[in-house]
Homo-oligomer: A and B are copies of this chain.
Amino acid sequence: MVEAVREPRQDRSRATRRRLLEAAVDCLAEVGWTGSTVLVVAERAGVSRGAAQHHFPTREDLFTAAIDYVTEERLAHLRANLPNLPPGPDRTAAVVTTLGEAFTGKMFNAALHLWVAAASDPHLRSLVLPLEAKVGRETHRLTLAALGVDEKTHPGTREAVQATLDMARGLGLANLLTDDTPRRRKVLSQWTTMLTAALTTP
């Protein structure tokens, strides 16, 4: 009976914590780093200030957890999508499209606000940098596997894959202030042609 009572409470607590983290991401993406205070996040999550402070006593606690959450969500999206693309001649296009999606949208915008804030905040930078390096390494590895290429045997593959991620990042930034979707589609289509040629040319 004790367990039965404790379990739902733990579930509720976990759900509240998750709601706060989701609200922190929404706030970051919409009002940026400076405007994302614990109070603003708690209001958005529909959680009392006291309950929010029970989970995250300080703004630093909240955003340390939010940075982890953004990292894990970005990686979870890529892990769920990149390894499951159908093989065949359209696979490169599908990989490029999936990466284009991973570098636009709410999670990317939240991460972008964190990076830019970290540029002038050494403590935030020390939190963001190792997680960003992890996202970079893992995205690179997942992309190689999804493309079915080996960077050790084909010269230029490593840099071509990195260039793909850099372009996706640049396209994400271009999408921040206006909806850049039609232009992005054309660029990614041309990129697919160029990447296919680079990966298959001996």
Chain A contacts to B: CB under 8 angstroms: 30-32, 34-35, 109, 112-113, 115-120, 125, 128-129, 132, 156, 159-160, 162-163, 165-174, 176-178, 183, 186-187, 189-191, 193-195, 197-198, 201
Closest B residue, CB atoms, query A103:
B170
Q: What separation, in Å, do the CA atoms of A201 and B177 have in the docked complex?
A: 34
Query: How many copies, total?
Result: 2
Q: Are A116 and B112 in contact (CB under 8 A)?
A: yes
Majority SS at the chain A contact face = helix
Q: Are A115 and B189 in contact (CB under 8 A)?
A: no
Closest B residue, CB atoms, query A30:
B120
| Given A31-B120, A162-B187, A197-B194: A171 in contact with B173 (beta carbons within 8 A) | no
Closest B residue, CB atoms, query A117:
B32
Closest B residue, CB atoms, query A167:
B167
* 17 A–B contacts from the bound complex (CB under 8 Å): A35-B120, A115-B176, A116-B116, A118-B177, A119-B176, A119-B177, A125-B177, A159-B186, A159-B187, A162-B187, A162-B190, A165-B170, A169-B170, A170-B171, A170-B172, A190-B198, A197-B201
Instruction: Kindly list chain B residues whose C-beta atoms are within 8 Å of the C-beta of A167.
Output: 163, 166-167, 170
Q: Are A176 and B120 in contact (CB under 8 A)?
A: no
Within 8 Å by CB of A190, from B119, B160, B165, B197, lies: B160
Q: What separation, in Å, do the CA atoms of A163 and B135 have in the docked complex?
A: 23
Q: Are B34 and A190 in contact (CB under 8 A)?
A: no
Instruction: Kindly list chain B residues whose C-beta atoms are within 8 Å of the C-beta of A191.
Output: 159, 163
